[in-house]
Structure 1
């Protein structure tokens, strides 16, 4: 949820729309079906959002805010190696967090007409991850090539995100183990 206070009606629309967009994507989503899920007329959605794009971008901003908080939380925890907590938490987070599933689907398969806006927002989220890992790497060892390893870590994250998005959680542990071993080796 964003930091803004919303009316209960607007929040119900956002909650239903989030679930609907996760299931059907932007192109498959229907404002009529979202209205039906909430138990309102479709026209009532327009009292809160100018159009489907405005609703979608509101949900994207919410997802970015929620996921930024999740990244902050993971990097604040003590861990064996820099960035490990976030990687270890991804599978369970994907299974339980609609915002995360929405963010991944939106970032990797954006509606074409919103791709530039989505890319800019997602890039800011990744920059936050990079800032966290850079800080953690500096604390881990002064002799590391922080810029190089930070980019490698983002590659690990990309790989894990794509595994979740396209393959689900079935083989995630194998991908995590392989990617994490490579990254951990680079740290030593």
Structure 2
């Protein structure tokens, strides 16, 4: 095949493709800078410079820095939901104890995803002062989606006889959140090996408290 034929076979990049690529690049850069410096200390000028475009060009993709931040927040929330769904699907045929342990581990290690993990922790624990209401709305919507999954999960555990009969569904869900929130917070203080060691202790106590018999 001649060089000309090879060139002809390569799909051309349309303006729409280029805009989508720029939008994705802005999100990746914004995620990195927000995670590293926080919302207040990150400017659109910095994001534009890192993307190799002029600041006004950002407005072709996002109305404001707040709009970019909130979209990244929704993305992070969606990714946490996707992680939960993936864990439940992957371990669907495993005993309930293994399914629960895997789910807790996956949620806890979400914080270690490069850039996104730190961003998620910042968004969840320290939302920007000017965006508290919007951030809380995203968090509440995310929790509602997680609640539905956890409710179905704990009810399946009861049907399988894996959980003690007196364990209330809402108590299980509350304890699950406390463990995840606590482990996410501890990632600010401990390196991963220490967090994994602490997880083993947390898991031992939690499973002893919820298991049947």
Please report the TM-score for the alignment, with normalisation by the length of structure 1.
0.86
CA contact (8 A) 1:160 1:172 kept: yes
The residue number in structure 2 matching 1:172 is: 195
- Name the residue aligned to 1:114: 131
Q: SS state of the match for residue 50, structure 1?
A: coil
Q: Are the equivalent residues in 2 in contact too, given 1:19–1:98 (CA < 8 A)?
A: yes
Q: Aligned to 1:38, which of 29, 51, 56?
A: 51
Q: Does 1:182 align with 2:205?
A: yes
1:136 matches 2:159: no
Give 5+ residue unaligned stretches, structure 2: 1-16, 160-164
Which of 125, 136, 143 is equivalent to 1:126? 143
Provide the C-alpha distance between the structure 1 equivalents of 2:168 and 2:109, rounded to a whole number of angstroms. Answer: 31
TM-score by length of structure 2 reads 0.77
Cα distance in 1 for residues equivalent to 2:39 and 2:55:
17
Name 2:30's counterpart in structure 1: 17
User: Which structure: larger Rg?
Assistant: 2
Q: Does 1:100 align with 2:137?
A: no
Backbone CA RMSD of aligned residues:
2.1
Length, aligned pairs only: 184
> Aligned-pair distance for 1:132?
2.1
Residue of structure 2 equivalent to 1:83: 100
Q: 1:114 and 1:120 mapped to 2: Cα distance?
A: 10
Q: Which residue of 2 aligns with 1:59?
A: 72
